[in-house]
A = this chain, B = another copy of it.
Amino acid sequence: MRFESDNAAGVHPQVMNAIAQAANAPGTYDGDGFSARLDAAFADLFEREVTVLWVATGTAANALALSALCPAYGGIVCHEEAHIREDECGAAGFFTGGAVLLPLPGPGAKLMAADVRAMLAGRDVDQHTLPARCLSITNATEYGLVYKPAELAALYEVCREFGLRFHVDGARFANAVAALGCTPADLSWRAGVDILSFGFSKNGALMAEALVVFDPALVEELRYRRKRAGHLPAKGRMIAAQLLAMLEDDLWLANAGTANGAARVLGEAAQARLLHPVEANELFLTLSAGEAQALRAQGFAFFDWDTEAGGGIYRLVTGWHQRAEDVEPMARALAALPSAGA
């Protein structure tokens, strides 16, 4: 029973089916029937006109978004543990032509509006210092917390005060929507978001992310940027078809709900060991080395997050394929741990 990463989860059968159907359809690049239907499908979902550019990876989605939102000489405010800072090998700097990340701490990888405001107010605004031009947050965060619409609104208020554009890394956006029970619009454009990296690869797709662009002025530029980054495959229809399959009958939402539900079950069982509340599909647990080893010996796989010889913090991520009943054995094993942690 694997909880290392939703990245490792398999492909949903409906997605595989959609790929197979697109395999021999006509059209090259984004000039195919599947791609042509995307804007409308996402417009339905987001309750307004949008333009959607498919890409194959979350790193590409984030870096392209940032390159359209921040000039080469600008700064991008983000959490110090943001994926764009820790896990994308400098993609933001590469795609923007040298923009610099301006990291801030915050609980559970969440940025607080007051902290962002204080940092921006404290920065020099002269030519010796990069001007902050973009805010990028991750929803759900790297620790599985979710930003609520009001929190986004508070951040957007800061963006407006200081002239920043607003990007959301939504590698687990579906999990955030499912957790909050609000609409995709509530967590994006209604809260002032300019571009959303809407992830599907962790949620049942094979290799598909949607760059949802709410500012029409950025669309043309993004098409050129996508191509010159090598992210316009000849058989783009294969990515489009995945997205359409994920949107059909809200498969994306059902999948995320399943993953969140499994995490909730585990979270309840491991209450005393949780580092953060379980809001989406990730758990961070404090375990001793012995406990971790014992769990693994029972066949449960999970990730060393921040550990040393004596134990530490371990991460569990649930996937779209894990129903509550599927994770019961793990829940029982966690519940059996002594409540006094490592």
Q: Which residue of B lies closest to A101 (CB)?
A: B100
Contact of A155 with B by CB under 8 A? no
Known interface pairs A60-B231, A230-B231; 10 further A-B residue pairs with C-beta atoms within 8 A, sorted by A's residue number: A8-B28, A29-B128, A56-B231, A56-B233, A60-B229, A67-B72, A90-B228, A94-B229, A100-B101, A127-B226
Contact of A278 with B by CB under 8 A? no
| Bound CA–CA A284/B90 (angstroms) | 35
Copies in the complex: 4
Taking A8-B28, A230-B229, A235-B206 as contacts, is the C-beta distance between A98 and B87 under 8 angstroms? no
Give chain A's interface residue range (CB within 8 Å of chain B): 35 or more
Q: Within A185-233, which residues are at the interface with B (CB < 8 Å)?
A: 201-202, 206-207, 221, 223-233
Contact of A168 with B by CB under 8 A? no
Residues of B within 8 A of A229 (CB): 60, 91, 94, 229-230
Q: Which residue of B lies closest to A72 (CB)?
A: B97
Taking A227-B128, A235-B11 as contacts, is the C-beta distance between A97 and B99 under 8 angstroms? no
Q: Which residue of B lies closest to A15 (CB)?
A: B23
Contact of A73 with B by CB under 8 A? yes
